[in-house]
Structure 1
Amino acid sequence: MEPKLNNETNVTPVTVQRKKTEHAREVTHHLWSFALSILLTVFAFAAVGLELIENTVLLGMFILLLAAIQATFQMLIWMHMNQKGHEFPTMFILSGVFVAIITVAALWLLIWW
């Protein structure tokens, strides 16, 4: 026995329920990502404002770590880079990160060595 089709949209009730579930899961991911991004920002401000880390090199590394985590949230959750069909933009972003790391490392070696 075939499921009844909705005459207006030609979709089954199962399809509608699956889309609602996917949407609810996506909203939950967005809310968690937003909350974690705010929390990471508060950590960064607290580390600088309260001088929790006195060594400036360690402070810079801590801030960069928080920035990398937040950038990952941005790409995966808000930009939907974890979904199918985003392999090409992902490849270019990762290539840009690789080139940036190589450039910074080369300039650092030129200046400090």
Structure 2
Amino acid sequence: MSTHDLNEDGAVKHRHRQEGPQKHVIAFIFSIILTLIAFAAVAAGGVNTAFTVILLLVMAILQVLIQLGYWMHMKDKGHMIPILFMAGGFFVAGLAIIAALYWMWW
């Protein structure tokens, strides 16, 4: 450690690593690939409908995770409170959907 890595009071400086565009480009390409797979599954026509719906749901979940992680920076430190609030919102929304389906088919 050199002397320029220390603050005025002698404590070690913590440098913020800047994220390069490489990870964003990879995330963008992965998002495009997921979108193309979803379009191809729907455009194929001869694919089982249940399989297509499940595939689209999986692609949507992966897209959401990529969007939150790389574009909304939820993978970085200090974002636990927004993540907890979003998880709580997904939980409440899931309960509402389950309750609505149960109510309709009961």
- Give the TM-score range, shorter chain: 0.7 to 0.9
CA distance in 2, matches of 1:79, 1:43: 23
CA distance in 2, matches of 1:42, 1:60: 15
Return the structure number with greater relative CO, CA threshold 8 A, min gap 6: 2
Paired-residue identity, %: 33
Q: Identify the match of residue 52 of structure 2 among 37, 53, 59.
A: 59
- Root mean square deviation of aligned Cα: 2.2
CA distance in 2, matches of 1:4, 1:62: 53
CA distance in 1, matches of 2:42, 2:84: 34
Tell me what 1:80 maps to. Answer: 73
TM-score, with length taken from structure 1: 0.74
Does the 8 Å contact 1:53/1:59 carry over to 2?
Answer: yes
CA distance in 2, matches of 1:34, 1:87: 24
Where in structure 1 do 4 or more consecutive aligned residues deviate above 3 Å?
A: 1-5
CA distance in 2, matches of 1:39, 1:100: 28
The structure whose residues are more often helix, as a share, is 1
TM-score, with length taken from structure 2: 0.78
Count of aligned pairs between the two proteins: 97
Shift of 1:3: 5.0
Tell me what 1:9 maps to. Answer: none
Tell me what 2:23 maps to. Answer: 29
CA distance in 2, matches of 1:23, 1:83: 11
**Structure 1: unaligned runs, 5 residues or longer:** 6-14
Tell me what 1:97 maps to. Answer: 90
Tell me what 1:8 maps to. Answer: none
